[in-house]
């Protein structure tokens, strides 16, 4: 009888140990899944939703004065700027929380649409050097930067930011697809997308 009781206790003990390790292993797997998932989403990083083309004429001039301001030397150029602006969302700014128990990713905060990159191509016309004020390589680099800033200042009035902001839900659905690839769900029921008319996503 004692032998049977000992075997039974041994079986129960072994079953308990196996169950415990299975639970721990499963929890580690779920924790690992959520960590990988959060990293995977953030690695998407910049997601472009809108692209805009710009063509602008920019007049550049620089005047240097010499001999106690008695002599001035002017260099100038007419620059045609062709640019491509990419607007979308920086997904590294989103705030996510993992609910490991329910295999759910909660989207708590979503970034505003922003300018992600500007590609510029400059063509120079009527480029004129001054007698004591000639174009240098540093001037051309400075012109590139000024051109980029000029286009960046034009973007708000172009409506590209507003158009991109309307694509927020499409971006969230992309994240939802990523989450669902490993059998988890994305919860964004309490998320609010900020724009001129703040709205809750249902």
Q: Where are the chain's structural domains?
A: 2-200
CA dihedral angle for residue 129, residue 130, residue 132, residue 134, rounded to 10 degrees: -20
Claim: this prediction has a pTM higher than 0.95: no
pLDDT tens-digit map of 27-64 = 445 555 666 666 666 665 677 888 999 988 888 777 77
Examine the pLDDT at 129 and tell me if it is beyond 80.
no
Write the DSSP symbol of residue 92.
Answer: G
How far apart, in Å, are the Cα atoms of 45 and each of 95, 162, 179, 193? 13, 20, 15, 18
Alpha-carbon gap, residue 47 to 23, rounded angstroms: 38
Average pLDDT, the chain: 74
pLDDT band with cut points at 50, 70 and 90 for residue 18 = very low
Q: Which residue has the tokens 């003990």?
A: 13
Q: At 125, which helix (H) or strand (E)? A: strand 114-128
How many residues are listed for the chain in this entry? 202
pLDDT tens-digit map of 150-161 = 888 989 888 999
**pLDDT value of position 40:** 65
Q: What sign results for the dihedral spanned by CA atoms 67, 69, 73, 77? A: positive
Query: Residue 80, class by beta-carbon neighbours within 10 Å (0-12 exposed, 13-18 middle, 19+ buried)?
Result: middle
């Amino acid at each position: 009888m004692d032998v049977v009781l000992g075997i039974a206790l041994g079986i129960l003990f072994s079953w308990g140990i196996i169950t415990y390790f299975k639970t721990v292993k499963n929890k580690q797997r779920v924790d690992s899944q959520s960590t990988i998932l959060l990293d995977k989403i953030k690695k998407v990083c910049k997601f472009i939703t809108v692209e805009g083309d710009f063509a602008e004429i920019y007049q550049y001039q620089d005047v240097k004065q010499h001999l106690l301001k008695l002599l001035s030397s002017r260099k100038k150029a007419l620059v045609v700027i062709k640019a491509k602006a990419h607007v979308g969302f920086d997904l590294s700014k989103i705030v996510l929380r993992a609910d490991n128990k329910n295999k759910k990713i909660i989207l708590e905060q979503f970034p505003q649409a922003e300018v992600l990159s500007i590609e510029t191509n400059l063509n120079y016309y009527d480029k004129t050097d001054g007698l004591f004020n000639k174009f240098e390589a540093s001037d051309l680099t400075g012109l590139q930067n000024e051109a980029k800033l000029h286009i960046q200042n034009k973007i708000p009035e172009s409506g590209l930011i507003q158009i991109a902001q309307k694509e927020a839900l499409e971006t969230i659905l992309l994240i939802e697809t990523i989450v669902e690839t490993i059998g988890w769900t994305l919860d964004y029921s309490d998320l609010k997308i900020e724009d001129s008319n703040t709205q809750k996503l249902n």
